[in-house]
Amino acid sequence: MGDMLSAARTRMHRAAENLDLTDELVERLDYPTETLAASIPLRRDDGSLTQLKAWRCRYDATLGPTKGGIRFHETVNQDEVQTLAFLMTMKCALMGLPFGGGKGGVQVDSRELSTMETERVARGWVRAFARIVSPNRDVPAPDVATGEREMAWMVDEYGHLSGSIEPNSFTGKPVALGGIPGRTPATGRGGMIALEAVRDSLGFDGDGGLSIALQGFGNAGTWFAKAAVENGHTIVAVSDSSGLVRHKDGLDIDALIEAKEKEGSVTSFSGDGVETSDDGAAIIEQDCDVLVLAALGGVIGDADDVEKLACKAIVEIANRPILPEADEPLRDAGIDVVPDILANGGGVTISHAEWVQGRTGLGWKDDEVADYLEDKMQDAAQAVRDLMDQSGLDMRTAAYGVALKRICAAVSAAGTVEEFGKG
């Protein structure tokens, strides 16, 4: 087992120990059910042939078909794919969705691919893994460097291979091809709903505006920022891969989005009182109420990183931006964390709505999507709060606890040691 998965599982074990869950049920989640590794041949535009490493992991399907994105990234590896599939398992259970967890990846630098090469990689991934993908078995979605267009190619390839039209084999499709309106903003908006739902347990009484520093200004970050401003909060600093921009009285988010769309970076933004720096990593040192991590994994890795923080709470919109080694130093520093499996659960929640839409053949309206997101985020946050109240656990451990209890209940429903042990 890889180091990354091993580290990720420590949080599950912490929850299981605190809640006295039966070992044999939790052990079932120690290893993935199925991981398929493949080599995808890519014919480059210049005629040369390259072999790309690729994976699909179905981590656990106790609660339903496995669900999770496919990322194209030069550093992706089997350990990362399995770790992210493990997190999807916990997230889908916490969000109350009838899905298990999965993840896929191709080890490739997407920036070096032409559009036609990207299409060949997307179709090659489906040819390699079609045997485990299916609307009732394993349902992939976009992730890093994949989006609606890649899903359109993948659904098409899957239809050719299976001999039937199966748009429901993937989510995150373009709306014109069976996608759902509201999927793109769902992760950012869901993160805001989660923050509001737990704000008093983070120590923010009342409903006054909070000062927020935000790392990452892509899909999730921009939609979170818009929702935050609509709710009366102030974004005092934003970073992306180009660097950092800050304004002590709050940034004009619509203008910042426009500048990023036009110039490709937040540091191109200017105006009265706006400061920029090429040191994007300094965002974690920004004095603020809430630091929102919406870019990368492993940003806060240990006690040294925790010492740099000047926030009162953290919201994890990226997957695993805080590593387990930093959990205790954060607790000692009194910094509460809204964990990734809750804070970014809005994305897979609306993927579920898309899957339901595909199964019924009936389209969802914008307000139905928004209501579903609100309800699911509130329900998950409430379940976590209830367990925190009952057990005194921190928010992350309680979130894992809610997920584990649901998975364990489903496993136990097919018989327990007490029943089988009767002989």
Ligand X SMILES: NC(=O)c1ccc[n+]([C@@H]2O[C@H](COP(=O)([O-])OP(=O)(O)OC[C@H]3O[C@@H](n4cnc5c(N)ncnc54)[C@H](O)[C@@H]3O)[C@@H](O)[C@H]2O)c1
Q: ∠161-165-167 over CA atoms, to 5°? A: 105
Residue closer to ligand X by CB (options 182, 221) is: 221
CB of 81 to ligand X, least distance (A): 13
Closest to ligand X by CB, 118 vs 219, is: 219
**Cα-based torsion angle of the residue sequence 207, 211, 215, 220 in order, rounded to the nearest 10 degrees:** 30
67 annotated to a ligand binding site:
yes
Residues at the interface with ligand X (CB under 6 A)? 187, 215-221, 239-241, 280, 294-296, 317-319, 344, 347
Rounded CA separation 46/12 (Å): 47
Local structure of 315: helix, strand or coil: strand
Catalytic residues: 103
> For residues 28 and 285, which CB has a smaller minimum distance to ligand X in the complex?
285
Residue 422 known to bind ligand = no
Find out whether 344 is annotated in a ligand binding site.
Answer: no
Strand order in the sheet with 313-316: 275-277, 243-246, 234-240, 211-215, 290-293, 313-316, 336-338
DSSP assignment, residue 364? P
Helix runs in 235-344, H state only: 253-263, 303-308, 327-333, 340-343
Tell me if 10 is assigned to a ligand binding site: no
User: Any binding-site annotation on 91?
Assistant: yes
Neighbours of 106 (CB within 10 A): 25
By residue count, the chain amounts to 423
Instruction: Report in angstroms how near the CB of residue 414 gets to ligand X at its nearest.
Output: 31
Q: 278-299 as b/e, with b when 16 or more CB fall inside 10 Å?
A: eebebbbbbebbbbbbbbebeb
**Which residues have a Cβ under 8 Å from the Cβ of 59 and sit 6 or more positions away?**
29, 32, 33, 66, 82, 85, 86, 88, 89, 100, 101, 102, 103
Question: Residue 319 CB, nearest distance to ligand X (Å)?
Answer: 5
For residue 52, the minimal CB distance to ligand X (Å) is 20
Structure tokens at 96: 């109350």
Q: Looking at beta carbons only, is 247 or 260 nearer to ligand X?
A: 260
Closest residue to ligand X: CB criterion? 218
Pick the closer one to ligand X by CB: 26 or 283.
283
At closest approach, how far in Å is the CB of 239 from ligand X? 4
State the binding site for substrate. 67, 91, 351
State the binding site for NAD(+). 187, 219
